[in-house]
Amino acid sequence: MSEGTTGTTVRARFRPRSSKESGERCVEYVSDNTISFTGPDGARHTFNFDKIYPEGTSQGAVFSDLTFVVEAALAGYNGTIMAYGQTGSGKTHTLLGYVAEPEQLGVVPRAVGHLAEGIGRAAEREGAEFEVTLSVVEIYCERINDLLYPFPGTGAGENLAVKTHAERGMYIEGATELVVRDEQQMVDVMTRGLAARSVAATSMNETSSRSHCIVTVRVDKTSRDGSGQTGKLVMVDLAGSERAVRTGAAGATLVEGSLINKSLSCLSNVITALTEDTRGRPRHVPYRDSKLTRVLQDSLGGTSRTVLIICCSPVRENAAETMSSLRFGSRAKGVQNTVSVNTRHSPEQLQRLLDQAKTRLAQMGAELAAARAALAAAGLELPAPPAAAAAAAAAGVTGETSAVLPPALPQQQQQAVV
């Protein structure tokens, strides 16, 4: 796997026609990555994605195209798999599936199993040690809630804040991160968290997800020499975009839908900002407009290998929502991320880096001394840096340049300086 700039991978998956749908189809599959789509106005549109999954595509076939993201996390990269689409388009089925039926397992449980197998092979092959932690949160009505918090309903573990860390990147402060030892523990923890997710019945989906759900697996690897890597796999089941007139939402469910649409609109605005031509002007990306976009900052325009799965209906009655989803996916293809391995140096490696820095510093000192000597021989003098000269003038120092020392640190701070 290579480091550098990479585009967002976008794939479109069409679910089978449901028992409630009797309208005509609106999609034709031209090739593995091209569809011809009939919009709500009857006009034909062509869309190209990295992969198209027609109705009937198995869960295993979808996941087999995503293993590179999981393996990237094992290698110390950040990876994101995200499902987007209208209510009832198959997002939750794609990501979660049915744990009780092996053939119907979704991306998340399959990814957990793939991670466990990869860790076992790497530990045996390299003698490395691994620590895996798992967190499950939801963004519900613009509040981040910890779905693994052991005492729900107490107020703690709710309305958590998003923070930035120099090494970890974006993280949710206070979210429970449980250490999991094997695949079964991973599945048990994940299942427990997902069971607490907010759902409600609508006319389009009997168990419509009313929140964005985010499962994060962090893989910390320590090699025999003490060096290490930390990979992160983020899997996001976005709440469905919806129109109240279609879903029959009312009361609290209507309010939920309004806030869902608002956060998805903010997500669309971020995609637009990341892909528009600024003609050299500074780019402003409105990540802070919603909790969702703030949490996904590493995944969109950040440091993650990101795959977006656009989930769609194949029938004409949903053409307007499907068209909106396909256009969103087309824009997202232009989002560029800069990926690199998250490394942690061993003590020996840090010492080597320190020795190299000291050697280079000594070389630069020798070069500076030689330059001063050459100038002195020519009757010239090396000018002091502007800041040092100004400080010397303010202190009334004349003649030869004197070193300007910083004020002494308090004793406690001095002890902390290496």
Q: Is the residue at 398 inside a domain?
A: no
pLDDT at 416: 33
The annotation status of 257 as a binding-site residue, yes or no, is no
150, 47: one domain: yes
pLDDT score, position 393: 60
Establish whether 90 is an annotated binding residue: yes
Domains of the chain: total: 2
Q: List pLDDT tens digits, range 206-233.
A: 445 678 999 999 999 998 888 899 999 9
**pLDDT tens digit sequence for 283-308:** 899 999 999 999 999 999 999 999 99
**190 & 69 share domain:** yes
92 is in an annotated binding site: yes
Owner of token pair 């995944």: 299
Q: Does 51 share its domain with 189?
A: yes
Query: ∠81-248-259 over CA atoms, to 5°?
Result: 50
Average pLDDT over residues 360-368: 93
Joined tokens for residue 305:
């290998």
pLDDT digits (tens, 9 = 90+) for 71-92: 999 999 999 999 999 988 999 9
The DSSP 8-state label assigned to residue 411 in this structure reads H
| Residue 104 labeled ligand binder | no
Q: Which stretches of 155-298 are assigned E, i.e. beta strand? A: 161-165, 169-173, 178-180, 199-202, 205-209, 212-222, 228-237
Mean pLDDT of the chain: 85
What's the CA angle centered on 211, arms 210 and 215, to 5 degrees?
140
Q: What is the pLDDT of residues 1-31, one digit of tens each?
A: 678 899 999 999 999 998 878 778 999 999 9
CATH number for position 189: 3.40.850.10
CA R_g for the chain: 27
DSSP 8-class letter at 300: T
Each residue of 309-344: pLDDT tens digit? 999 999 999 999 999 999 999 999 999 999 999 988
Do 339 and 80 form a contact (C-beta atoms < 8 A)?
Answer: no
Residue range 177-186, pLDDT digits in tens: 999 999 999 9
Q: Are residues 147 and 240 in the same domain?
A: yes
Tell me the residue range of the domain where 228 lies. 4-344
Domain boundary among 298, 328, 344: 344
pLDDT exceeds cutoff 70 at 277: yes
Same domain, 307 and 161: yes
Same domain, 326 and 352: no
Q: Is the pLDDT of residue 278 over 80?
A: no
Say whether both 168 and 229 belong to one domain. Answer: yes
Residue 6 assigned as binding residue: no
Tens digit of each residue's pLDDT (9 = 90 or more) over 407-416: 444 443 333 3
Q: Are residues 182 and 79 in the same domain?
A: yes
Torsion over CA: 124, 128, 129, 135 (sign): negative
The Cα–Cα gap between 148 and 202 comes to 26
At position 207, the amino acid (one-letter code) is T
Give the separation between CA 90 and CA 380, rounded to whole angstroms.
Answer: 77
* The pLDDT value given to residue 16: 93
Question: Within this chain, do residues 330 and 357 fall inside the same structural domain, yes or no?
Answer: no
Q: Quickly state the pLDDT bin for 257 (edges 50, 70, 90).
A: low
CA distance 415 to 418: 8
Q: ∠ CA 213-65-15 to the nearest 5 degrees?
A: 60
> Is residue 406 one of the residues assigned to a domain?
no
Residue 394 lies in a domain: no
pTM, rounded to two decimals: 0.81
Q: Quick one: what percent of the chain has pLDDT higher than 70?
A: 84
